[in-house]
Amino acid sequence: MVVLCRYTVVLLLLSLIYVLPTGAQDIPHWARQWYDWAQTTNNPEFIAWAEKLISPEAIKTGKEWEKFLGYNAVDLVAQDTKAPSIKPGLVITPENVHEYEEELRQLFPFGFDWEVDRLTGTGVFADYNYSPLEMVIVPTTHAYNDRAYLEITKKYAKECRLDEQGNLQGWVAGIPFPQPTTALEIVHNYDRLTVMADNLNSMPLAFGLYGKNGRRERVEKIELHWRNYVGRIKISPTPTIPGFKDVYEKGSIVGLYPYDLKGFAAIRTRYRDPNVEDSFITYIPSLRRIRRLAGSNTQDPLVGSDVTWEDWKGFWSKIAVHPADYELLGEEIVLCPSFNPKPIKFSVKYGGWCQRFWWERRPVWVVKITYREPTYIYGSRIWYVDKETFAIQQIMWFDQKGRLWKLWDWCWRWNPVNGELVYWNPWVVDILNRHTTIADHHIFTNIPNLSEDLFNLRYLSSKAH
């Protein structure tokens, strides 16, 4: 009898280890696998993240999205058997990368094995002088958008359709095509995610510019402001601000640093009419002049970075203005920065960046956009679009000669408790010119009473003096 009682007590204590964090008896397997693994590591950062994943709010929203979509990332990734050595808990460094190099290259899309080159110091990154990159492999996360996106998508998605030219019709708010079957539907889904919020500020948004040897050449800081006028789901008025039914969104920036950028301001207005080009105006403080830019100017670099205005948020291009062919190449499992990564840090010693990101396998759609305009900045783009969040994970750009030109590896901040997804540390590599831009966002979203002055060029230009 004594032995039986002791055995019963042990079982009770073991069960409490899992029950106490949420009080739930039925933690889904897609949350349980992360939590169980985190416990084995004794790493407080992994454990803290896992606690968020199994919170009652996270589980409730995760279950609702799983039911709506009909799948979750954890199950999709479990069906992929390639690169078995690249598993949670592995830390890949320049010292051990050769042991895992072959399998790593299987997990990166073509072109993105430059991540491996950074560790080996070969290819594009030969002669780079940078502090060591570490890749910390973690379990796949069942990620989802917030409940507001879910409810509004359920309400309005059935009204969405594409016209004969491929333009989106009938969209009010939310994700237009939650079960996409074509490349163009996937493109419209990401386009209408906008900035995953009704508005945002990044105060500041900093760009680190890195040269051929990996050393930082320059730091630039700007204020970023963004507002959706149509498709609003959280901040009143919804879904449209009265008087702005013809405007999708506006974005504005103000230069803060260094001195030659300070005071520069720009506002870009995206109109709802698919055939109307964006309004794009800037204030140049050195000339004390307001300049209205033509559509081709959107292909210029954004304040000297490797990102063009056309690349803003990954894609800010209207399909009717820049005709292209859209092809769904298939589905894939790729290695991406995880949703709770370590931030990019500048290394004073090496003069370059130091990263210790968390990485996980993600299921993606692969979309190719081939432009018909011989004068357009790109010949084509290839997107790797997350099948749960509908956001871009990775982008490849090719020039008009078909050469791989630039790569964009996204790094998202995601809150499992409420499902909100925002930008954080994306970085862009110019393969041809061997140059890198790393963005560092400090974002606040869904700000009540965001002033319309932030999208008025005369007000923004007054801040320059």
Does any domain span residue 117?
no
For residue 171, the enclosing domain spans: 147-462
> In DSSP terms, which residues pair with 164 in a beta bridge?
none
CA terminus-to-terminus distance, the chain: 85
Q: Are residues 68 and 184 in the same domain?
A: no
Does any domain span residue 438?
yes
Q: Based on the structure, what is the number of domains in the chain?
A: 2
Q: Are residues 22 and 156 in the same domain?
A: no
Does any domain span residue 407?
yes
* Last residue in a domain, options 77, 101, 126: 77
Prediction pTM value: 0.89
Return all residues near 271 (Cβ < 8 A) that are at least 6 apart.
246, 247, 248, 277, 278, 279
Each of the 465 residues of the chain gets a pLDDT tens digit; together they read: 333 344 333 333 433 444 445 444 589 999 999 999 999 999 999 999 999 999 999 999 999 999 999 999 999 999 999 999 999 999 988 788 889 988 988 998 776 766 677 667 676 666 665 545 678 899 999 999 999 999 999 999 999 999 999 999 999 999 999 999 999 999 999 999 888 899 999 888 898 888 877 778 899 999 999 999 999 999 999 999 999 999 999 999 999 999 999 999 999 999 999 988 888 898 988 878 888 876 556 777 777 788 888 887 788 888 888 899 999 999 999 998 888 666 555 555 545 555 567 899 999 999 999 999 998 889 999 999 999 999 999 999 999 999 989 988 888 889 999 998 888 778 888 888 888 888 888 888 999 989 999 999 888 888 766
Q: Are residues 331 and 435 in the same domain?
A: yes
Q: Are residues 198 and 340 in the same domain?
A: yes
* Last residue in a domain, options 53, 77, 101: 77
Q: Are residues 196 and 323 in the same domain?
A: yes
* Last residue in a domain, options 42, 61, 77: 77
Q: Are residues 302 and 380 in the same domain?
A: yes
Does any domain span residue 332?
yes
Q: Are residues 212 and 352 in the same domain?
A: yes
Does any domain span residue 120?
no
Contacts 24+ apart (CB under 8 A), 22-29: 22/54, 22/55, 22/56, 22/59, 23/56, 24/54, 24/56, 24/59, 27/54, 27/59, 28/59, 28/62, 28/63, 28/66, 28/142, 29/74
Q: What is the pLDDT of residue 30?
A: 97
CATH of the domain at 263: 2.50.20.10
Does any domain span residue 131?
no
Q: Are residues 236 and 333 in the same domain?
A: yes
Q: Are residues 300 and 391 in the same domain?
A: yes
Does any domain span residue 40?
yes
